[in-house]
Amino acid sequence: MPDAEFKLTGEYIELFKLLKATGFCESGGAAKHTIAEGRVKVNGAPETRKAFKVRAGHRVEFEGQTIQVQSQQ
C-alpha cells in the first residue's frame, strides 16, 4: 500500500517536482540531488534522470516510502 497518492493535473510531472510536491524533499534542489545519488526508484528500478516524466500508474519509491501516481479522472 502506498504511503502517499498523487493525482496528476496534466499528462505527467517531472520526478524532482513530484518529490517536492509531495513533501518527500524540502526543495527542488534537494530532490535533484537525491535523484542524482540514485536513491529514488520508479516502478522498482533506480532512476537518475531528474526530469523523468512520471505518469499515471507509476510507483515512486524513496527511503522506504512509496508514492502512487494517479490520473486526475
Q: What percent of the chain has pLDDT over 70?
A: 97
Type and span of the H or E element at 32: helix 28-36
Mean pLDDT of 49-73: 94
Please provide the average confidence, as pLDDT, over all residues in the chain.
94
Cα separation of 62 and 73, whole Å?
Answer: 26
In CATH, what number does 4-70 get?
Answer: 3.10.290.10
For the segment 14-44, what is each residue's pLDDT rounded down to a tens digit? Answer: 999 999 999 999 999 999 999 999 999 999 9
Report yes or no: 59 and 68 within 8 Å, Cβ to Cβ.
yes
